[in-house]
Structure 1
Amino acid sequence: MADLRRLAGALRQHGGEVREAGPGDVVDGVPATAVARPTSAEGVVAVLREATAQGLATVPRGAGTALDWGAPPERADLILDTTGLDRLVEHGAGDLVVVAEAGLPVASLLETVRGAAQELVVDLPPDRLAGGSTVGGLLSTGASGPRRLQRGGVRDLVLGATVVLPDGTRASSGGKVVKNVAGYDLAKLLTGAYGTLGIVVRAAFRLHPARPDRAFVVGSGPLADVAAWARDVVASQLAPAAVEIDRPAGSDVAEVAVLLEGTGDAVGQRAEAAAGLVGGRVQAEPPRWWAALPGVSTGSTSGGVETGGATLAKATATLTGVAGLLTAARAAEQRYDVGIALRGTAAGVLHAAVTGTPEATALAVGHLRAAAPSPREGTVTVLRASREVRAALDAWGPVGGLDLMRAIKRQLDPGRNLAPGRFVGGI
């Protein structure tokens, strides 16, 4: 049980508040005892040091738009609310760099750099962006959208980060920082780790100049054809900013959407060439499902029906393996009486929304994993699921380098005080 008086005392001189947890202070079904909301990095240091001294399990939380991703923590004695750390520290427009605190909403950061005709190319799902998803949440989940095809994922865009370790040590790595932890690039190490290694308090990102002109090309056809068209565009000289595939649940047909960005007439010319490759049409606006997770968007090609309690999984594959994922999804539907909506980049990072009984869902996920059979060739990781589904399968599946990951956890968090159990292998 958290000692609120001691936690509040640790935070008092640094600003912020500590309170008892309420009904809404839950991490994927696991209720918290207390919530601390520091307003400075020094406050995070103080409260985390005190929480670890008390033996508490601390789970960081931003806006909570993906708090039910990953696995439920073994316990969540203290939620450390990062929304009090909401400052834009620096925008070096001339250097194409931005530094922000962890609690700053990504939408606010994007709006600021947009004024300098720049952008942070992360393309968060619209529901997360609208829900106030923060810089810390962006890093914690490692989420990236359609334009990762050309610009890379979040791990490629983060230059450095300042983090607080469970014992209160403040450490930094990468660019725009002064103190480094020997042997680790903490910014990249913590990206996608679900808050299990350290709590990010600020991060620096690489920006890109905004491209003023864009065009979309949308085509549709049988699954094998769409996969082949998408491969052709990715391998072409057209330099697409994104090539996305949307395969609605239960369908033998999918859509492919290509984004071309640049300046002037060249964009239109490239779009016409891409239309020839996919047998599609050129349009100014993206399809309604663009950048949205399957099962969430109400403007999907599946008729705009919310899938509600669908199991959300992230599927990766090689460029040539995407066709196998599409085929496997259709086969799993027919074999296990489930629905699988599949959407994402043709380069091999897709999300699947699986609807069905817990047992059938687990079997369907296993079927998809057979199409992406190894960490080298692809994986299928369950992000969001009911407890019944989680009980029926291993949410993470095969993962390479697990022994190394556990060794890093032991070194950075030997007492397992940060979000224990949230990450792969019970980390």
Structure 2
Amino acid sequence: MTSAPEGVMVAGVAPVEVVAPATPGEVADVLRSTTGTVVPVGAGTKTGWAAPPTSCDLVLRTTGLNRIVEHTPGDLVVVAEAGVRLADLRERLAGHGQMLALDPPEPEATLGGIVSANASGPRRLRYGTVRDLLIGVTVVLADGTVARSGGKVVKNVAGYDLGKLYTGAHGGLGVVVSTTWRLHPRPPAAGAVVVPVTGAAEAGRLAALVCRSTLTPTAVELRWSGSDGELVVLFESIPASVVGQCRATVALLGGGSIVDAVPDWFGVRPVGQIVLRLAFAPFALPRVLAALPPTAGATVSAATGVAYAAVPRDVDLAALRATIAPFDGSAVLLTAVPGIDHWGPVPDSFALMERVKDQFDPRRRLSPGRLLGGL
């Protein structure tokens, strides 16, 4: 086991100590021998996605768990430890014409961090999110117990699917040490249609036309700034299908440019002092865009109802949350800002969340206060 570099911060909170175990067994030893609070961290690209910890005696970095354990190309399955960078896994799989169809924009992101933050990108429309692609997981519980769920086949019905439980848990239920993924073949061709958009109503109309059609896009992304933007409809398939669907999209939308590569902003989250992750029912896209401050900039997965928005410091976040709430909407901070509620109102299911937390971490030592409602 090695000590990690100094200067590690978790949502602005400095730990007392930092360690970087190199094996799952060392992770278990750390949790068994430590009585203080522990915050698991991967590469640190998304530490602001959860609330600042109320206590941080020890940061446990998983970057030392960096082995690709097994890749079975014929079964489209890979087993890799939590500290493996997504970029390194992509390079390994590309040689076999395969991919893990997750596309968060952070190149340094680790697999464990992606699971813990439930991070994905524009291609979630076609391939799904972490919960759809993660078929097995190994975790170390708060008491040092090593637990496994799922397996190395795409269809697995034995036992509970703990992978879904640990997805988005930000290390609050245990430390993810190994992951097993369903893979996909790399598409042989790609093309996109780019359409300028003026007004929230027009953005909603064009997105709805695509979603209600027989087209099969990989992603439908919108760049939004103030009152206008740009819609990109991406297709990935065999060349003939890409060409045919791009032409059909231009006809359906009444215009647009066919391009070989997506714009530079595609899949990139906006940068600002306050960045929000919005989730909402896709039909409510015009209402959500209209609710954003005029100076906000956003990238929106229009067909799945996920947006990342950079908003001014004086945003009335409570009003924004209230406006989008009727559309199954939520607004979560992706940057730790003192004095601003990170998660928003707790849902009716919060009592169940508390019971789950107490079952897996009865002393509440793991990522304390980072989850919804201060769990």
TM > 0.5 fold call: yes
Of the three residues 275, 280, 298, the one matched with 1:312 is: 275
1:372 paired to 2:324: yes
Partner of 1:405: 353
With normalisation by structure 1, the TM-score equals 0.83
Letter of the structure 2 residue corresponding to residue 33 of structure 1? V
Q: How far off is 1:280 after superposition?
A: 1.1
Out of 228, 231, 234, the residue aligned to residue 256 of structure 1 is: 231
Which one of 133, 146, 149 corresponds to residue 122 of structure 2? 146
Distance 2:213 2:99 in 1: 25
Give the aligned partner of residue 189 of structure 1: 165
Instruction: Please name the residue that 1:230 is paired with.
Output: 207
CA distance in 1, matches of 2:68, 2:340: 43
- Aligned partner of 2:307 in structure 1 is 350
1:323 to 280, 283, 286: 286
Q: In 2, distance between residues paired with 1:241 and 1:280?
A: 17
Give secondary structure in 1 for the equivalent of 2:209: helix
Letter in 2 for 1:315: L
Residue 245 (structure 1) aligned with residue 200 (structure 2): no
* 2:310 alignment partner AA: A
**% of aligned pairs identical?**
41
Distance 1:273 1:371, change over 3 A: farther
Determine whether 1:165 maps to 2:138. no
Separation in 2, partners of 1:396, 1:121: 30
What SS is found at the alignment partner of 2:135?
Answer: strand
Shift of 1:267: 0.9
What is aligned with 2:245?
A: 270
Pairwise CA distance, 1:291: 0.5
How far 1:293 sits from its partner (Å)?
0.2
CA distance in 1, matches of 2:334, 2:227: 25
Specify which of 27, 30, 33 is matched with residue 50 of structure 1. 33
Q: Would you say 1:34 and 2:9 are equivalent positions?
A: no
Matches within 5 A, 1:48-197: 48-51=31-34, 54=35, 56-125=36-105, 128-129=106-107, 132-176=108-152, 184-197=160-173
How many angstroms does 1:394 deviate by?
5.0
Structure with larger RCO (C-alpha < 8 A, sep 6+): 2
Report the CA distance between 1:18 and its aligned residue: 4.0
Q: Deviations over 1:27-56 (max 9, x none)?
A: 1121111111111111111111111xx2x1
Shift of 1:183: 6.8
The answer on whether the counterparts of 1:220 and 1:226 sit within 8 Å (CA) in structure 2 is no
Following TM superposition, by how much is the alpha carbon of 1:244 offset from its aligned partner in structure 2, in angstroms? 0.5
**Contact 1:164/1:198, CA 8 A, preserved across alignment:** yes
Q: CA deviation at 1:220?
A: 1.2
The answer for unaligned runs of 5 or more in structure 1 is 1-15, 296-306, 334-338
Quote how far apart the aligned CAs of 1:85 are.
0.5
Q: TM-score, normalised by structure 2?
A: 0.94
Q: Compare the two structures and name the one with the higher helix fraction.
A: 1
Any stretches of 5+ residues in structure 2 without a counterpart? Answer: none
